[in-house]
Structure formats: structure tokens, C-alpha cells
Structure 1
Amino acid sequence: MAHSSLARVAGRTTPEAPIDLVQLATNTLGNRDLEVQVLHLFKSQSAGTLERLARESDATVRRDLVHTLKGSARAIGAEKVALVCETLEGEMQTDADAPTDGLASVVNEVNAYIRDLLDS
């Protein structure tokens, strides 16, 4: 089991990075294998969540999906995704069909970053 954190990858932690790799390392106790697993899980879960949001009509289910994604985003250090989820949750209180385009955009950005990070 490797204990070399992804946060130690040179040049990867910048203010513009969509994932706070230091937060990720903290949450996984610096276990690189666990970091990789969690990142793969987020990528898969977030893509599935966006698909479900696009076809789901039940307001409660939609809010629950966004809330769950918010927690997952915070767990990997994707704070921008978490903040968009938080805003969207509020909007969904008054508009069950609140658009999710902004959420899809930030999730896609994070997932592209994950792909780049894991392929390096």
C-alpha cells in the first residue's frame, strides 16, 4: 500500500485547482491508494448523479441527489462543486426544476482534473 499522497505531485496544488489535494490527503490520511479509490468513486458517482438529475422529476429526490453530491465533493476537497450544490439546494426549495447546468459544468471540470491527475 503506497503512502505517497497525490498532494505531493509537483505542480498539482494551485489556487485554481478544482480539488484541494491537501484536503484529500488529510481525509485519506495520506494513503495514496485510498485517494485514488475515492477519486474514482467520485468521478463515477458524480457522473451518475448528473444523469439522474437530468431525468428525475421528483423534487425531493433531486434535492437529495444534490445534497449527497455536496458531501462527496467536500470529502475529496472539491469545494467549488460543494458550493454550487449548496446554492442549488437553496434554489430547489422554491424551484424544483432549478437548472443544473452550472453544477454539470463544475463537476465536468473536476472529473477532467481527476482523469488528468490519475493518468499522470
Structure 2
Amino acid sequence: MAPSSMARVSGRAGPEAPIDLVQLATNTLGNRDLEVQVLHLFQSQSSSTLDRLASETDMQVKLDLVHTLKGSARAIGAERVANVCEILEGKMKISGDAATEGLELVVNEANSYISDLLAG
């Protein structure tokens, strides 16, 4: 991540930011190249997970997808995504299904933030 990239999102840093950059740096041991790699991986994985959730009919597979996304989100410091995943998991276990619009919203927000962060 270039310093100019960090400056572009500095107005969206802190507790309100979709990605906790301190958590990301901690989890990647401050390795900027690794940060970039895991952010790209998250974007790809989260997008494909949303696509799969939309078409999947097997509830256990859906639960596994949401659970995996929750872990990936926590690994990069995307706590909003992880929290929505956790709530969705609970609803899915109780009712057998749950709407994923809220998940789509926070994933798209995180991915937009990542794109801004990596641009430059």
C-alpha cells in the first residue's frame, strides 16, 4: 500500500471505517505486500460468496459460506462484515433461512473501501 493510498482513505479511518487498518497490520505482521494480497483475496472471496449464497439451496452449505466469510472478515479487520455474518448465522440456524441484503451491503462497503485503499 502506497502512502498516497493511505491518505485517500484517511478520512475514513478509525472506528467508523469498514476495515480496521491497525488490525490488518497486526494480522499481517506489518507486511504491506501481504496486506495487499489478503485484501485482494477478501474482495474476490466475498464477492464469490455473495454470488454462491444467492444461488445455493442447501442450508448447511449456506451456513458454511457465511461462517467462512466471517473468519475472513475478522482476519482483515472487517468487523462489521463479521458481525453481520454472526447475526446471519444465528438467524439461519433458528429459522432455516435469512435474508442476505444486510450482508451484501456491508460486504460492498468493505470492498469499496478496499478498492479506494489499493488505488493509487
Aligned to 1:100: 100
Matched residue of 1:19: which SS?
A: coil
Q: Which amino acid aligns with 2:28?
A: T
Separation in structure 1 between the aligned mates of residue 104 and residue 97 of structure 2, nearest angstrom: 15
Separation in structure 1 between the aligned mates of residue 94 and residue 55 of structure 2, nearest angstrom: 19
Separation in structure 2 between the aligned mates of residue 100 and residue 15 of structure 1, nearest angstrom: 24
Structural RMSD (CA):
1.7
Q: Which moved more, 1:63-72 or 1:91-100?
A: 91-100
- Aligned counterparts, 1:1-120, within 5 A: 9-10=6-7, 11=10, 13-120=13-120
Q: 1:102 to 1:22 in 2, by over 3 A?
A: same
Separation in structure 2 between the aligned mates of residue 109 and residue 9 of structure 1, nearest angstrom: 17
What runs of 5+ residues in structure 1 fail to find an aligned partner? none
Query: What's the offset of the Cα at 1:16?
Result: 1.3
- TM-score, normalised by the number of residues in structure 2: 0.91
Matched residue of 2:30: which SS?
A: coil
Aligned residues: 116
Matched residue of 1:105: which SS?
A: helix
The answer to which structure, 1 or 2, has the higher relative contact order (CA under 8 A, 6+ apart) is 2
Structure richer in helix, relative to its length: 2
Separation in structure 2 between the aligned mates of residue 55 and residue 9 of structure 1, nearest angstrom: 36
Separation in structure 2 between the aligned mates of residue 41 and residue 72 of structure 1, nearest angstrom: 9
